[in-house]
Amino acid sequence: MAEAPEKRDVAGSPKQGFQNASPASSSVAEANFNINEKALLRKLDLRLLPPVTLLYLLSFLDRSNVGNAKLEGLTEDLNMSGNQYLNGLTLYFVGYVLFEIPCNIVLKRTTPRFWLPTLTLVWGIVSTLLGVVQNYSGYLSSRFFLGVAEAGLFPGVVFYLSMWYKRNEQHFRIALFFTAASLAGAFGGILAWGIAHMRGAGGYNGWRWIFILEGLFTVVFSAIAYFWVYNWPSTAEFVTPEEREFIKLRLKNDSDSVREESFSWESVFKAFKDVKVWLYGLGFHTMALPMYTLSLFLPTIIKELGYSAAQAQLLTVPPYAVATILTLIVAVLSERTRLRAPFIIGSSALAAIGYIILLAQHTPGVSYFGTILAAAGIYPAVAIVLSWPANNVSGQTKRAIANAMQISIGNCGSVIGTQLYRTETQPRFFLGHGFALGYLIANMVVTTIQFFFLRRENAKKEQERERRGLTAFMGDIGEDFQGDEDPRWIFQT
């Protein structure tokens, strides 16, 4: 039986979901189903999370393996300067930012089973072709179109999961999905080290085989994904009719996921006019620069500490392994306490300490420890930042656009970051490390502002409920529901 909704304090600690129908009636309704809720959640996790997590792992691997390829001779073979290499990194994020919102509009108007594997197929082909480019212009165009193709995956999956899970169940699932990013960093170093030994095979240098083999694997997996990715709860074939109705009821008692809502441009504009959506975007903007600069330049940063290229490839593994473990631990704690902002701030502070060490030291062991702290703080914070609007934005179309806006605004930081680790700043990279530290401090400021803003909104809603005589229930909100502007909708802080 589902747990009764938990009441929280008037000051703004997050009550979950809507407030309208009797909790007793909700519990009685759910008791009419002969379904073990925990077993159903395990079933959903096993069916929904593995395919999308693997898609994101491949996505992150295919966008960040360029850092590994650089160590294996990419810039020398294409006669590029270090700064020309950076321009390709920048163009990736230009394509990524431009197509975030259009991609989520397509997802809302099609299906996950069609759209997510199709994106995977396209970026897999582009990634493979990166392995056969012959000049600077080919490198630039390949990176741009890789960004275009990958643009729709992350915001699409975040929206997709929000249509299956209750609000307080979403964060851990999104965090679990996001650990694919840190796992990609760990696997990327090992794969690059192994594949680099193929240098000379077929007349190709090792960096070409990194792109070709990893890209071809993505293409193969995209074909499997057409059969493995499921659609929305109303049509997914792996659930029984009774489970479908139970899923519908439990979401109906918690969020807007099962409401009949057609696409409308009015809902799109609501997202653009909501200051909270822009704050979510700034929250990711201030994390995206540190995250992507670390993932793209970590092999180079480690190599400049005095290690060989092969050693640097392998030494990228421990920072990502620690980041993966901490991302899951912090996600569990955030889910249990139903708090978001304190964990974001704490994780950003840990990453900031890592960059302070990198700025202050150039001793290999100490500086390498700084990279571990940086990764260990960045990835848990990003996981929470990206799940926050999925928890709080109501109105399906508005939420889809808010998720895409957050990634678009965030990756403007990535565009800036790709130009910071310039050749003339090595080996200490004061410019890049300094920017990353400044952005982490800015993230703590933005998160604090959003935290108090949401608490103030919750307090106003509490007063409005008292004025109108609305009781603290959850359930079918009725036709007069106004999305997250409704006084019965409580924000998670």
50-99 pLDDT, tens per residue?
999 999 999 989 988 998 899 889 999 999 998 899 999 999 999 988 89
Structural domains counted in the chain: 1
Q: Which domain holds residue 47?
A: 35-468
Highest mean pLDDT among 62-66, 117-121, 186-190: 117-121
Structural domain contains residue 25: no
CATH of the domain at 123: 1.20.1250.20
From the number of C-beta atoms within 10 Å of its C-beta (0-12, 13-18, 19+), residue 137 rates as exposed
The per-residue pLDDT for 16 is 41
Query: pLDDT tier at 255 (50, 70, 90 boundaries)?
Result: low
Q: Which of 65-69, 142-146, 410-414, 476-480 has the highest mean pLDDT?
A: 142-146
Q: Does 6 reside within a domain?
A: no
pLDDT at 295 over 80: yes
* Residues 32-45 pLDDT 10s: 678 888 999 999 99
Asked, for residue 323, whether it belongs to a domain, the answer is yes
Is residue 4 one of the residues assigned to a domain?
A: no
Report if residue 107 sits inside a domain.
yes
Q: Which of residues 87 and 159 earns the better pLDDT score?
A: 87
Mean pLDDT of 269-296: 92
Between 487 and 348, the higher pLDDT residue: 348
- For the chain, what is the mean pLDDT? 86
| Residue 325 belongs to some domain of the structure | yes
Among 90, 218, 210, 229, residue whose Cα is nearest residue 157: 229
Lowest mean pLDDT among 22-31, 276-285, 339-348, 473-482: 22-31
pLDDT at residue 100, rounded to an integer: 83
| Per-residue pLDDT at 2 | 37
